[in-house]
Amino acid sequence: MTTIFDLEADRLSARCPNADLDESRPLTAADESRFRGWIQHYHRSQQGHSDDASRLQLGRELYDWLDGGEGWLARARATAVAPWTVEFRAPRDPDNAIRRLLQLPWELLADKRGYLAADLALRYSPVRRLGEPTSPEPPSPYRLSLAFM
């Protein structure tokens, strides 16, 4: 199952058909300031300046912000079928605010029980996508086609 977060210059939209979720909310200057702080915190943690408890706290702050007052994550997760993919879609040429939002460590998303990625039954997987997904061109009958694994 996939939950999609569409990122636009001034809006964040959430879509999840299983949870009857198709809503949006504005992105504010305060949100952009939070993004900067979270990115700095994450970079410091990568350099060994914080412990696991600090990263867990960052994951919980990200969860609370993305869930928002609307309860987007809670609603989507209640109907989630493993694997649960959370896709962050942005325009092909995102502005700085969207770039920061994409840089956030969504892999650390955590609730009160811990990291979502550690929940083996949920199999949470964040995905970042620039532009709309498209189907690949069919292979040409005149050219060699290869598949790599």
Query: Given this model, what pLDDT does residue 130 score?
Result: 92
pLDDT along the chain (149 residues), means of 10: 89 91 93 92 79 90 94 91 92 90 94 93 93 82 74
Give this prediction's pTM.
0.85
Beta partners for residue 58, in sequence order: none
Query: Given this model, what pLDDT does residue 44 score?
Result: 85
What angle, rounded to 10 degrees, do the helices at 29-46 and 96-103 form? 40
Query: Given this model, what pLDDT does residue 50 score?
Result: 66
Query: Given this model, what pLDDT does residue 136 score?
Result: 81
Place of tokens 């879509």: 15
Q: How far apart are CA 128 and CA 25, in angstroms?
A: 19
Query: Given this model, what pLDDT does residue 126 score?
Result: 95
β-strands 125-130, 85-90 pairing: parallel
Pair of tokens at residue 30: 């305060």
Query: Given this model, what pLDDT does residue 75 score?
Result: 93
First-last CA distance in the chain: 24
